[in-house]
Structure 1
Amino acid sequence: MKTIDLRGLLLAGCAALAVTGGATAAQAQAARDYAIQRQDLASALRAYSLKSGQDVVYDPSLVRGRTSPGASGRLTDEAALQSLLAGSRLSARRTPAGGLSIVPEGEAGRPQADATGEFSPPAATVDEIIVTAGKRAERLGDLAGGASAVTGQQLKAAGAQSNADYLGRIPGVVFNEGTSGQSAVTIRGVGATAGIDQGQGPTGYFLNEIPLTEPSYASGIPDVDTFDLNRVEVLRGPQGSLFGSASLGGAINYIVNTADASGFDAATETTVRHIARSGKASYAVKGMVNIPIIQDKLAARLTGFSREDAGYIRNLGAGTRNNLQVNGVRGSVVFTPTDRTTLSLLSLYQKNKSDEIATTQSAFGPYARSTILAGPTDYDFEIHSLRLDHRFDFANLTVLASTNTKDHVLDSDVTRSSALRTFAPKGVLSQEIMHTKMKTIEARLASDGDGPFKWLIGGMYSETNTDVATLSSLPTGAAVLASRYNAAQLQGELFNRTYSHREGAEKALFGEVSYEFIPTVTATVGGRLFDTKYWVEIQRYGINYGLTGQTVPRRNAGDDGFVPKVSLAWRPSRDLTVYALASKGFRFGNPNTVVDLPGFDTPAAWASDSLWNYELGAHSSWLEGRLQVDASVYNIDWSDIQVRLVRPGDNLTYGTNAGSARIRGVELAVVGRPTAALTLSSNITYLDAKLTETVRTASPPLLEGTRLPGASPWQISNQASYRFSGPLTPVLTVSHRYLAKAPETLQGPDVKVAGYNQFDARLNVSLDDVDVALFATNLANKRAVAFGYGLSSTGTGLSEFVIRPRTVGVTVNWKLR
């Protein structure tokens, strides 16, 4: 595994950026050579978008039939856009997400967010966000489906460092905090466990559309650092038609900023904080530099970050804490040789290392556990991608190729449950070492035009290779083992060894067609034709497997089919979209790897679940943009659920498809700005997610009416921000979150997690290019369980992951432009 020490480099680099950045500020508003000829306005705006690198969105009815006079000469982006819109009675508004929205001149006077994301008096509108949820740029408010987007500016304003700081505040999303790299997200209650699935998980994860979810048990779930993120898109409901496997309940797409050839830019962020019960300070230092190499043609961007969170859970036996270190670097190179072609390279490396697993054991106290051996975790992920975007006269081509590598090492003290504990005074260790490499290529063509007919067609192929070693050992116990067991079964301190090799492949054709058959109503039909294959082979050696070991020959699983998506959207104005949607999701099946048991018919494999989502919703803007209301109601029918059951006779678990569930929910998101100074928001989710069929082959039986794990019936998030007038423009933000109780597992529905309120506060002040924030999270210092593994049979009580105790600190941000 790789080891990279980034801290000294980051500290020095951030200091250098702060000193030298001001000298290059004059380059921020660079001019470009524009040569956009007179043509229809829609085509002119597309040419401008490619040249400037900015997303431009608009209601097609606004530009239909209009002609642009063009833009020629060396112009700033603003001047070029004004030239293109001359005489059209249209204007542009910029959003904090970096997009441009074309609106009638009468609406252009609405005050919009400035470069800092703040709003100017006398009134303020809710910002518009540009997303690529449909694999083409469009306004969030135009989507025919449930979706949310958190912009980089919003992440910064909230002081978010990781997934735990923001995902759980989004409607329909529950963040199940676990060990670093092992935290899972449940969307709309779709999940048979609140933790890591033994097969492919129900939520898809992407980075700039690069798929990050492997076809089986996850070697790690990325927690992408929030610094220099453009936005995080959360798509609720199955996304199989465009995003493929894993997105059974929904998908999360992290969008990082890429290189910008228009001018130099730089930024730094430094945080110091204290976590209650940790005993020492935590810190984070981050930096970004964007360098144009050839003006308007070629640029490079480098982002680095280092964070250390002091541990608040003590291992009384091993003397360790759950200290966490996160170090990483992102790099981007973008080359635009012509106004039609863009090549983009993107790389990321991130390393998460914890000194101790972050579970408490209730027998030893609210923030404690006790084992002989420490339980450190080490999780790395590395991504490299090459993307081509080219505009033909009739369509836009995108080709995206990527590699994604994950490594994890997880140590567990299993002394209390091991038969060897009577002669293992220094403990019994189980270590899991996992390496996964995933390669993916996707190519698609999307129609270029704003007429009533739009289309998208594409294909993809992905292959994944995973190697897993599970090693059981007696630390410093080689001599004891040699005196008790045959030497042929041992390997030094190792007494049991399991090695597995797994390979998976997915290939698919996908497409989508939409037609605006009357000026305000659009019908969309799409789908994905898929084929998945997965196989595994296992070798086991040691004292449990005889003198020659045990081999599980290759076992296979495969699936193919078609998942459709149909929607109808009514858009009477740019301020209202009402939609109806039906969509289906899918995920990989997997083979069972337990040895055969005489007298019991163990399934050879399990297949994809069957899940249909039926949804009605609306995105709306009121009071001249000062109030935004998004609402949806949905019904999910889920059958042939992928579950783990216990085999009678040897109590080993196996996977199968069994049972069914019904999920009904309502999601409401409201954002209002009654004045320029005050912003209020509230997200409310009601969820009724229960089994509709009893599975008696389970042990214990899974009973009809049981609530799905982690599917809290109520989830509420509220926030109020007030910007005071005067020096430093202070902004005070207070927030609240409530998550109702839910079962921890399907097998033990009486053990509950969640059921808590959390209150946070933050005060931001600004001085020129520097922002300073004082913050406190979990003000009441509430101990609450986010997720757990139930009651242990070894006398250690409940094994629980708890939310972070009260945390106070200060963050200083500097940005050149």
Structure 2
Amino acid sequence: MTRSRLFAKHGSFRFGLLPTAAAAMVIAGLMAGPSARAQSAPETAEKEKDKQTLDRVEVTSSKRRQTLSDVAGTVSAISGADIEKHGSADLEDLLKLTPGVQFNKGTADGSLISIRGVGTNSNGAAQGFTQSPTGIYIEDVPFTDPFAFVSTPDLSPFDLERVEVLRGPQGALYGSSSLGGAIRYIMAKPNKRVVEGSVLAGFSSTASGGTGWSTSAMANLPLADGKAGLRVVVNSREDPGFIDNLGTGRKDANTIRVSGGRVLFTYALTPDFDITAMYLRQRSKQADGPGISPFDYSTGAGYVKNYESLDVKTAFPMAYTSTFDLGTLQANLNLGDFRLTSLTGRQTKSRSAREDFTRDFFDPALLNDKWTSDTDYHSKSTSQELRVTPLTPGRVNWLVGAFWMDADIQRDQQVYEEPRGEVADLRFRRNGKATEGAVFADAEIKITDRLIADIGARRYKTKLSYDRITGTTAADTASTPYSSSESGTTPKASLRYVIDESMSVYALASRGYRFGGISNLGSSAQGLPYKSDSLWNYEAGWRWSPTKSASIDLSVFRIDWKDVQLSELYVDPATNRSFLVTGNVGKAKSQGVEAAAAWRPFSKLSLKGTVAYTDAATSGGISIGGSPIASGTRLPGTAKWQGSLDATTYFDGPFDSNGRVSALVAYTGKRNAQIDSNMVLPSYTTVDLRASLSWNSVELGVFVNNAGNSRGLSAGVDYFTTYTEFYPIRPRTVGVTLRYDY
């Protein structure tokens, strides 16, 4: 039996941090006795060591269960076993394993992800009020904000069943938030028959930084004579900081503390009716430490001349706190020859940011002039999806469904001068509401035993309304309302041909979109409408498994993107204040090649590799702030070349142990920092090493991440100034982990 397990890369042996309830469940599981316990990690490792065939991977990216080789499209499925092997602690670690996907680092939960080059910003702060181009889904509930970027949840990967990365637009089945692709988190579900559990702890030390720790635990209990099951997961970690804030005097200022957990309950009331409920919560806190900033707040001059230096200087702490909650209820009911599935989701997200705005309002004549910005983001949404599928698929395997989502979003920003009272404080508020309704259908048709077609479409309607309120903390001006609505259709079609049992080819065309809206123009009641931007993805692929121990996937694609939404700076002539607005400003295209290969030449060695070439650039007609951007300008945050090589070997270790050693080498090429900036971020290569020994129910691991201490960077360009913040990857980190399974 395979279970998702994670060897976290930061942590200490602080078991006392686990909630009392979870600890009680772990003890209850131990008291259940060995006869009821699940297979331990070392037993799984023993079977893995003697295996010489590749795993048969199943995915649900098409909202029905398929083997990965039967999907007409490009999907990367990162299993729980791979998550365990690499000790992934966050989304940045996970995405090293997927070609064509770029993780653009930011502050806690403020990062952006681009797939196949689809993106106009490389930092969450610059995303403004537009919807992110990559969809995040947790148990198929959309987690991407439709308006006013709140956060990109970076879910702890402990005890996940798998993560699926869908490359290319997914508008037909997943809707507005998947313009360039989607990332799906699938949780490990309760086991209704077997008691099982895991406890994991670790400790780490980062070069030029501090020490970190993590603790995680899972307990699973069968209930109601095997008809029901309960699974509880808790986790807490502290990622060590490595940036010193010389202005506030805080060392290792960018330390991040993450804690959370989830509860899943499943119950089969009858053979034809079952429900699964989940509640999830996670909180991330960064007390200080933005990215490296080229600005000296004491003189107003450029500060960091060489971004290899890992320090920053701000007048105030740069603090960020992000929290998200999600509750889901999925019910499956068999009605004759059909299955009805209902999925209800309720989520809340909040993010607070206290930032030093001195550089935005800096007056060289007043060196003691200091400005602070406090911004609070809140969102809550409810979604409902209904699907009907046949219980026994024939030559036509179809599904039809309906989706509805309602989201409320508030953004409240205050900018004030220190000491307060010297000038009037500024306040900017937006209270918005977004809705999306859709009906969709998809059908897989076996034209012959070798030729399979898939056609689908989604008919949608979106609405957005919000009030803009500006003024001071003492008095607000009258609110100005804005509203917009759109409707459209996003089709997809594919054709797959099975050449023989080992080889197949496919061709695919699919369309994606994201929310349109309206930007305010300062003191004017007039708004600047912008349309939903959309794109077409044309793709062809080839899959070959010459033996049971080897596989090759190759795909080529071209994306045509029109009405590109781009943020720009607007200066209100009445107040001379700057506002970030969005407009449809032209076209772009992305084309490239992606390849993934796996080979198990003998039972004790496993090799995997990926490579991606992505050429994403404007194709004319784009301007920002009145200055044209030349056709052929590369879209930001995406490298032309990416690649990874993953090797794992198994061996008989000392003292009757099972041993494993793995190495992951990942390369990221040069990237543009922002579409309206000629700044090019350097390429970098990371090497992650890991070794473990296991006995019965215990596994001990050691790791060195970024062994070469590479200084990779992401960057966010501030639209209100000429200054940039750089977000470096974590320097060399060495650590140890200890795991107990029962």
Above 0.5 in TM-score? yes
Going by fraction, where is helix more abundant, 1 or 2?
1
Question: Which position in structure 1 is the counterpart of 2:132?
Answer: 201
Q: d(CA) in 1 for partners of 2:662 and 2:55? A: 18
Q: d(CA) in 2 for partners of 1:7 and 1:541? A: 49
Q: d(CA) in 1 for partners of 2:366 and 2:179? A: 47
Contact 1:736/1:760 (CA < 8 Å) preserved in 2? yes
Task: After superposition, give the CA deviation of every residue in 1:498-533 in whole Å (9 maximum; x if it has no partner).
Answer: 222100000000001121111111111100000000
* TM-aligned CA distance change 1:7 to 1:433, over 3 Å: farther
Q: How far is 1:699 from its partner?
A: 4.0
Going by fraction, where is strand more abundant, 1 or 2?
2
Q: d(CA) in 2 for partners of 1:15 and 1:772? A: 21
Q: d(CA) in 2 for partners of 1:29 and 1:272? A: 28
Q: d(CA) in 2 for partners of 1:374 and 1:537? A: 31
Q: How far is 1:24 from its partner?
A: 2.8
Is residue 535 of structure 2 the alignment partner of residue 611 of structure 1?
A: yes
> In the alignment, residue 138 of structure 1 is paired with which amino acid?
Q
Question: Which position in structure 1 is the counterpart of 2:566?
Answer: 643
> In the alignment, residue 727 of structure 2 is paired with which amino acid?
F
Contact 1:718/1:737 (CA < 8 Å) preserved in 2? yes
Q: How far is 1:806 from its partner?
A: 0.3
Task: After superposition, give the CA deviation of every residue in 1:19-74 in whole Å (9 maximum; x if it has no partner).
Answer: 664443545479xxxxxxxxxxxxxxxxxxxxxxxxxxxxxxxxxxxxxxxxxxxx
- 1:406-805 superposed matches below 5 A: 406-418=349-361, 425=368, 427-474=370-417, 477-478=419-420, 481=421, 484=422, 495-542=425-472, 549-595=476-522, 604-623=528-547, 625-647=548-570, 652-696=579-623, 698-726=625-653, 727-748=656-677, 750-789=678-717, 793=721, 798-805=724-731
Q: d(CA) in 2 for partners of 1:310 and 1:722? A: 30
Which one is further off, 642-651 or 213-222?
642-651
> In the alignment, residue 576 of structure 1 is paired with which amino acid?
M
Q: d(CA) in 2 for partners of 1:636 and 1:120? A: 42
- 1:269-348 superposed matches below 5 A: 269-279=200-210, 281-320=211-250, 321-348=253-280
Question: Which position in structure 2 is the counterpart of 1:352?
Answer: 284
* TM-aligned CA distance change 1:389 to 1:620, over 3 Å: farther
Flag structure 1 segments of 5+ consecutive residues without an equivalent.
1-5, 31-93, 97-112
Q: How far is 1:607 from its partner?
A: 1.2
Aligned alpha-carbon RMSD (Å): 2.5
2:119 pairs, out of 184, 188, 191, with 191
Contact 1:18/1:814 (CA < 8 Å) preserved in 2? no
Q: How far is 1:603 from its partner?
A: 5.8
Q: d(CA) in 1 for partners of 2:256 and 2:172? A: 37
Q: d(CA) in 2 for partners of 1:574 and 1:388? A: 36
- 1:60-71 superposed matches below 5 A: none
- 1:236-275 superposed matches below 5 A: 236-275=167-206
Question: Which position in structure 1 is the counterpart of 2:32?
Answer: 24
> In the alignment, residue 691 of structure 1 is paired with which amino acid?
T
Contact 2:624/2:676 (CA < 8 Å) preserved in 1? no
Task: After superposition, give the CA deviation of every residue in 1:170-226 in whole Å (9 maximum; x if it has no partner).
Answer: 011111111111111110000111222220011000001111112112211111101
Q: How far is 1:18 from its partner?
A: 6.7
Q: How far is 1:325 from its partner?
A: 0.4
Which one is further off, 455-464 or 763-772?
763-772
Q: How far is 1:414 from its partner?
A: 1.0
* TM-aligned CA distance change 1:278 to 1:120, over 3 Å: closer
Q: d(CA) in 2 for partners of 1:25 and 1:183? A: 45
Question: Which position in structure 2 is the counterpart of 1:61?
Answer: none
Contact 2:608/2:645 (CA < 8 Å) preserved in 1? yes
> In the alignment, residue 469 of structure 1 is paired with which amino acid?
D
* TM-aligned CA distance change 1:421 to 1:554, over 3 Å: farther
> In the alignment, residue 119 of structure 1 is paired with which amino acid?
E
Question: Which position in structure 2 is the counterpart of 1:10?
Answer: 18
What is the SS of the residue equivalent to 2:52? coil
Task: After superposition, give the CA deviation of every residue in 1:109-160 in whole Å (9 maximum; x if it has no partner).
Answer: xxxx973485254x61111111110101111111110000101111011000
What is the SS of the residue equivalent to 2:627? coil
What is the SS of the residue equivalent to 2:208? coil
Q: How far is 1:416 from its partner?
A: 3.0
Contact 1:744/1:790 (CA < 8 Å) preserved in 2? no
What is the SS of the residue equivalent to 1:416? coil
Contact 1:176/1:185 (CA < 8 Å) preserved in 2? yes
% identity of equivalent residues: 29
* TM-aligned CA distance change 1:119 to 1:338, over 3 Å: same
Q: How far is 1:725 from its partner?
A: 2.8
* TM-aligned CA distance change 1:753 to 1:516, over 3 Å: same
* TM-aligned CA distance change 1:160 to 1:383, over 3 Å: same
Q: d(CA) in 1 for partners of 2:495 and 2:682? A: 37
Q: How far is 1:652 from its partner?
A: 3.8
**Which has the greater radius of gyration?**
1
Q: d(CA) in 2 for partners of 1:791 and 1:516? A: 52
1:219 pairs, out of 150, 167, 176, with 150
> In the alignment, residue 269 of structure 1 is paired with which amino acid?
L
Flag structure 2 segments of 5+ consecutive residues without an equivalent.
1-13, 295-302
Q: d(CA) in 2 for partners of 1:421 and 1:767? A: 65
Contact 1:14/1:286 (CA < 8 Å) preserved in 2? no
Question: Which position in structure 2 is the counterpart of 1:157?
Answer: 85
What is the SS of the residue equivalent to 2:163? strand
Q: d(CA) in 2 for partners of 1:339 and 1:252? A: 32
Q: d(CA) in 2 for partners of 1:117 and 1:710? A: 41
Which one is further off, 768-777 or 696-705?
696-705
Q: d(CA) in 2 for partners of 1:145 and 1:25? A: 46
* TM-aligned CA distance change 1:28 to 1:594, over 3 Å: farther
Contact 1:421/1:428 (CA < 8 Å) preserved in 2? no
Structure showing greater relative contact order (alpha-carbon pairs closer than 8 Å, 6 or more residues apart) = 2
Question: Which position in structure 2 is the counterpart of 1:35?
Answer: none
Q: How far is 1:761 from its partner?
A: 0.7
Task: After superposition, give the CA deviation of every residue in 1:472-497 in whole Å (9 maximum; x if it has no partner).
Answer: 2345x34xx1xx55xxxx6xxxx122
Q: d(CA) in 2 for partners of 1:161 and 1:226? A: 6
Q: d(CA) in 1 for partners of 2:334 and 2:291? A: 51
Q: How far is 1:332 from its partner?
A: 0.8
Question: Which position in structure 2 is the counterpart of 1:138?
Answer: 66
Q: How far is 1:351 from its partner?
A: 0.4
Contact 1:214/1:438 (CA < 8 Å) preserved in 2? no
* TM-aligned CA distance change 1:464 to 1:16, over 3 Å: closer
Q: d(CA) in 2 for partners of 1:457 and 1:791? A: 44
What is the SS of the residue equivalent to 1:551? coil
Contact 2:80/2:162 (CA < 8 Å) preserved in 1? yes
* TM-aligned CA distance change 1:791 to 1:454, over 3 Å: closer
Q: How far is 1:597 from its partner?
A: 6.1
Contact 1:453/1:515 (CA < 8 Å) preserved in 2? yes
Q: d(CA) in 1 for partners of 2:46 and 2:457? A: 38
Question: Which position in structure 1 is the counterpart of 2:297?
Answer: none
Q: How far is 1:283 from its partner?
A: 0.3
Q: How far is 1:754 from its partner?
A: 4.3
> In the alignment, residue 630 of structure 2 is paired with which amino acid?
L
